[in-house]
Structure formats: structure tokens, C-alpha cells
Structure 1
Amino acid sequence: MAIAMINAKELYEKINAGPLFILDVRNPEEYNDWKIEHKNVSSINIPYFDFLEDNEDNYKDLPKDREIVVICAKGGGAEMVAELLDERGFTVSYLGLGMIEWSQFYHPVTVAAKDNMKLIQINRVAKGCLSYMIISDGQAMVVDPGRHTEEYLKIAEQENAKIVDIMDTHCHADHISGGPEISHKTSGTYYISTGELQGADLPHEPLEKYDSIKVGSVDVKVLAVPTPGHTPGSTSFLINDKYLLSGDTVFVGGLGRPDLGGKAREWAQSLYDTVFKKLADLPDSVMVLPSHYASPSEVNDNGYVGALLGEIRKNNEIMRTENRAEFTEMVVATAGQSTPPNFEEILQINIGAVEVTPDKAAELEIGPNRCAVHHA
């Protein structure tokens, strides 16, 4: 039998096509911390080194009636195990560059295409990171881009659009922003709230100077009052009064964690004001499009992560807790749980204080999103 090497895009297509069995041969700690999860995926963890022993028990729980996809960290171990399975008559393929490649896979989905505007959500599936491109009249704005800048340049080229604006809703803690690099490559303007930069001298245009920024004929409203809580300078963007790019402030299933700056109780107060004062006037019909998600179940029937603000208010307990003291205690109770690994170093990179190689950047970003912790 032939052993097929597949890439991340092909794996994503297999996952969405129907039931898939994954054999993950990384060590148990890596598997338990971060693995491929989806309603269509069944997975088992048998470490690579177990297969170095000639023990047939390693194979007894593996199905012979369907394909097995073998996955490891970088691909080499998976290939070796796939060969052993092939020798025993299993139908097998393996992810060529492993979880490193899976971590860097982006999947674009069109959220809306009308009124001379196209809004695309770009899903970095393995990280649960979401970024956006707004296109109008041949111009494009990118919001919360990841560090793989070629993904955004490719989409802009496909859409015959020039990137003129790049926005970060806040200084991200779990992944490296591609905003400054896209700005350098396109001569587009990079926007972020100055308060997010901790005094660092990163070239940018301060978001706090603007009430509205236009791209083509689309009115991108920078909310007149910022939406702090997850970070002090978090800013949300309202597109055509219909779509709220909420950063890490409001998620489909909850609110952004306020504890990464070491001031959980203080920032929880800001988060309360954001929810019950600054966003209170937005109608239930606004579509919330966040910068992260915690589970594949948050992908809606249209293939993107988003929900009406009214649904989020209805379904999430903390969004209904109008008592300030109770709200604060609920938020603080979850503070400090599962902080993003390497978040302090990633923050330093994102404010321009530290530079790293692409290999080091990939190493720092390995692991799941841990910015969305307040769920219903």
C-alpha cells in the first residue's frame, strides 16, 4: 500500500469531510496540552518511542477499516510510524510537517459580500486565532493579522485589492502580530492604541485619535470609547454599523480574560464598564466577530466564528451579571488559569522591543489559544 504525505490544508479538508481517525505519536504531555479536536475527529495518543519496541499491543486499538492519519511535532516520527503501520496492512497517511505546519494553517471564509463591501474572516485553525480583511473599492483593511504575512498579501492579490490599513485591536499575548510587517511590505498605515505599547517606540498611528476610519466606501468606526478589559487599550471596530470586530473583549462564548497584566481585579472593573456601558447601546442585531475562539463548536453553520450580540447576551451568564461586585468576583475567580505559554516574551515582540527568528517565533506560538476563558 502507498503511504500518502498530506499537508495541513488536505488534513483540514479530511476533517470536514467526515469521520477521521488520528494517531498522535507525540509525548503525552504535548498531546494533553494541545491536540487536534473536532466533532469529526477521533484520536489516540501512542508515543513515537513506544513503536521503537516490537510490541504488537501498540496496534491493537487501531482501526483497519478506515484511514489513519499519523501526526507528530515535525513530521519525521509520523513518517516512521506510518511505515510500520503500512507494513501491517493499515491504510495510512501522515502530516508531512507535523503540528508545526498545522499551527501555521490559515483558512479564509467570506462573512459578508454586499453593499460594495467584502468581509473575510481568516481562521488560523490550530490556534483559534481569527483575523479579518475588509475590502471595498479596491482597498483593503486587515485587522489582527498573524505573523504569516504572505497569507494576507495572497488574499489581497486574489481580491485585486491594495492593503492600505492594518489594525490591531490590542497587543496580543498568544501569537505574534503581522501588523508591523504588513505595514512595511505594503506601505499601509499600522494602527494600534498607544496605551498598548507600554512606552515602546513602535511606529504606529494611534487609534485613540480616530472616531472613524474609511476603507473604500466602508465606514469602519473605531468605537468612540475604547473597550478595555482584556487589556487597557483594547479597541473594537464597528463595520457599517453591522459587524463588531471585538478583538478579545467579547467572544461567542464569553469575555476576554483581564489578568494577563497582573491586575485582574482592576481590569475586571474596566471590563464591566465596557460590557454594561460602552457596548450597551449596540443593538442585539450586531454580529460579533472576535479575534479568538476556544472550540470548533463555535464555528457557525455558515463556516465562520460569529454570533449576534443578542444571542451572546442571552446565552452567557457573565454578560447578564449586572451587579458590579458579582461580575468582578466571577471574572477574578478564573484569573491565572492556563495562561498562554511564553506570553511575556510574545508581548515584548509585539511592542517591537524584541526580535526573533522565524524558527523561534514558531516555537513560541506552539499551543492552543488561552485568551477566551469566561464561557457560559
Structure 2
Amino acid sequence: MAKAWTAAQVARKVIDNEQLFILDVRNKEAFEDWKIEGKQFEYLNIPYFELLDGVEEILPQIPTDRELLVVCAKEGSSVMIAQMLEAEGREAAYLAGGMKSWSTYIEPIKIDDLTDGGELYQFVRLGKGCLSYMVMANGEAAVIDAVRFTDVFIDFAKEKNVTITHVFDTHLHADHISGGRKIAEITGATYYLPPKDAEEVVFDFHDVLDGLKVQIGSVNIEALYSPGHTIGSTSFVIDSRYLLTGDILFIDSIGRPDLAGLAEDWVDDLRTTLYDRYRELIDELIVLPAHFMIVEELNADGSVAKRLGDLFAENHGLNIEDAEEFRKTVTDHLPPQPNAYKQIRYVNMGKLKPNYDEQTEMEIGPNRCAVR
């Protein structure tokens, strides 16, 4: 009987940089669009319907010196193929819940200790490239850019014996459904959103304005208006040491300005943020983005973080001197729009209320918040 591996088990193999061979039995288009990424993973994509008569012909393509995982969309096909491989004497596991479960798994990683016993955690959603944060100190906690799986954050706060008092979104998200407002409703925390992104929202919130300062115990959180990905995009400086950039600046790229259909209008804001506002900050700040694009951006501990000064030196998007060339680079190298991004924006405005399965379908697929 083939073994079931959980998304958490696969996540550890990604983070620990282990070898793995993945037989992905989804169709070619789905595989090429989005797959489980690991620095030492190898892949074979054969749609399951091509294997219904047997797996004998693909056995020579599957190495025997590393673990084998079969993956499909929701689990059923991978169970069948894994069992067929086992019948041929090849040990195989399948991903429980398929890519659907991979899309939802979140791994909390400690980033650092903060002032007077405070702590900063990054929540890494490996299958979607989403990064959320929790700042905690003196029994209080703030959550930034939470994804929709609110129990992860609420349970983690309980485990750490802290009360969530503040919840922030750096902008109105378009590639995933925010859990920020729901966390605030459940915990009684104050929910903050940049007002320039919130002209169409249908719920109450507190404004995130440039220079806003919030204390979480002994830790200071300060807002820095940084438009460009959206017109309201706002970064946060944590404890004068960390820069949460939202979807404006990533480790290997920069944010795209077009998810509200306003690329030509917002590209100048994006350049001003990256080339003026951020350059006024100290190089020693550690950048913590709201997304990552490729698995190579992960550090050895699985975190996604890098010194701002290093990004000024290494990130191509921060080194385009000519403004017109920057504009052309940004507007001409945009990847496909995220899956269901218009509906997701409406959900985050409070205008749509899809059920759990509908939310899952909206979010299926890779993160596409960056300029290529």
C-alpha cells in the first residue's frame, strides 16, 4: 500500500533542501503553470490517463536512488498511480490532498528576537509563495498580510500566549484572499488598511497612513507609504530593523503595477518608491516581502529575507537608471494575471463571499505579483 505524505512533510523536504523525485500526473498545462518546487527536486510529468494501461514503460525514467512522490490535483489519481508503481516493486508515496493541499499549507519560521523579549515570525505558504508575519511582545501581537487560514494565526498566538491586538494589510491583495479582517473580527483586534486602496470596500477599517506608529508591547511598528503595486501600498518598519515591503519589493524582483488595470498610471509611483523612498532608508534593514517567486529565494532555514543594501546591489529592478527603460521593463514584462484576481479583489473588498471550496479554486495556481 502506497504511503500518504502530508504537505507538511513535503514542505520540510523543500526547506531542508533534500532530494526528491516527483511524478506529477496532472495535465501538461497545469504542471507547466505550477508545481511543487524544491532546489534538489527532479520531475517527470505524465498525465494519469496515459498510465491507465500500466506504468511499466516509465519505470526506466524514474531513479531508484531517491524517494518518489506522486502528485495530482486532488489526490485520487496519484493514489492509483502510486499503487500501480508499488505493484511493480517501486516504493512510492502520494501527496495527501494533492496540489489542493499544497496550496494551503503554511510553515511558521522564526525570523528573530526583537526588543525586550519580542519575537518576529514569518508564515511561509510554500505552495502559493505568500508570506505573512506576526510581531509579538509583552503579551501582545500584530499580524501583517495574513492569508485566509485564520486558525493558523489565532492558534499560533494562543500557543505563544499572546493576544492579537492589531491586524494590518499592506495593500488590497489581488492574488490571494486576505484573512486580516476575519482575524480582527474573531479576536477583537483593530484592522488596518491603506485608505487609497479601500475606496470600494464595504466594511469598517482603520486607516494606514504614512508615519502611523503602533506599539506592540515594546516593539515599534511604523508605516511608510510606498505606492506602485497598488496606489495605497504601504510598507512597515519593525523595531527599526526590518522592512516589510508588501508586494512592492521582492528578493529577486519588484512588484507589478497592473492588477487594478492601471500599470501606466502607477509605474511612476513604483519607481519613486523603489528609487527614492527606499533609498532614504538604511541599508541594514532586512527586507521581508509579502511573496516570493522562486524556491531559490528561500534561505537555509526556509525564511525569505535579505538585507536592503544587498538588494540595491543585486536586484535588477533596483538598478535601471533610465526612467523610460524602467517603464518599458515593468510594463512589457508582466506575467499572466493571477487566477481569478478580479474576483479575489472583490472578496477582499467585502463585495463577494465565496464558500471555502470556491475560495480554494480562486487561489489555485502560482503567485504572480512580480515583474518578470
For normalisation by structure 1, the TM-score amounts to 0.95
SS at match of 1:164: strand
Map 1:140-159 onto structure 2 (within 5 A): 140-159=141-160
Specify the alignment match of 1:342 in structure 2: 340
Structure 2 distance, partners of 1:44, 1:209, is 49
- Contact 1:166 1:182 (C-alpha < 8 Å) held by counterparts: yes
Q: More deviation in 82-91 or 321-330? A: 321-330
**Is 1:239 aligned with 2:238?**
yes
One-letter code of the match for 1:154? D
Structure 2 distance, partners of 1:346, 1:68, is 35
Specify the alignment match of 1:197 in structure 2: 198
Specify the alignment match of 2:364 in structure 1: 366
Shift in alpha-carbon separation, 1:245–1:209, aligned structure 2, 3 A:
closer
Specify the alignment match of 2:173 in structure 1: 172
1:238-283 CA-to-partner distances (Å, cap 9, x unmatched) read 0111100000011111210011122212201111111222222101
Specify the alignment match of 1:356 in structure 2: 354
* Equivalent residue pairs, number: 370
Map 1:1-376 onto structure 2 (within 5 A): 2-15=1-14, 16=16, 18-54=18-54, 56-116=56-116, 117-208=118-209, 211-223=212-224, 226-335=225-334, 337-374=335-372
Q: More deviation in 235-244 or 297-306? A: 297-306
- Structure 1 vs Structure 2 CA RMSD: 1.5
1:42-79 CA-to-partner distances (Å, cap 9, x unmatched) read 11111111121246313331233443111111111111
1:145-182 CA-to-partner distances (Å, cap 9, x unmatched) read 00001110121111111101110000111110001110
Q: More deviation in 245-254 or 198-207? A: 198-207
- Contact 1:78 1:95 (C-alpha < 8 Å) held by counterparts: yes
SS at match of 1:60: helix
- Contact 1:66 1:91 (C-alpha < 8 Å) held by counterparts: no
Structure 2 distance, partners of 1:340, 1:25, is 23
Structure 1 distance, partners of 2:84, 2:214, is 57
1:350-371 CA-to-partner distances (Å, cap 9, x unmatched) read 1111000000000110001000
One-letter code of the match for 1:319? L
Structure 1 spans left out of the alignment, 5+ residues: none
Structure 1 distance, partners of 2:24, 2:316, is 36
Structure 2 distance, partners of 1:66, 1:321, is 43
Q: More deviation in 206-215 or 301-310? A: 206-215
- Contact 1:67 1:90 (C-alpha < 8 Å) held by counterparts: no
Shift in alpha-carbon separation, 1:94–1:37, aligned structure 2, 3 A:
same
- The alpha-carbon deviation at position 141 of structure 1 amounts to 0.2
Structure 1 distance, partners of 2:194, 2:296, is 32
For normalisation by structure 2, the TM-score amounts to 0.96
- The alpha-carbon deviation at position 301 of structure 1 amounts to 3.1
Structure 1 distance, partners of 2:324, 2:56, is 59
SS at match of 1:135: strand
| Identity in percent | 38
Structure 2 distance, partners of 1:24, 1:301, is 26
Shift in alpha-carbon separation, 1:285–1:210, aligned structure 2, 3 A:
closer
One-letter code of the match for 2:141? A
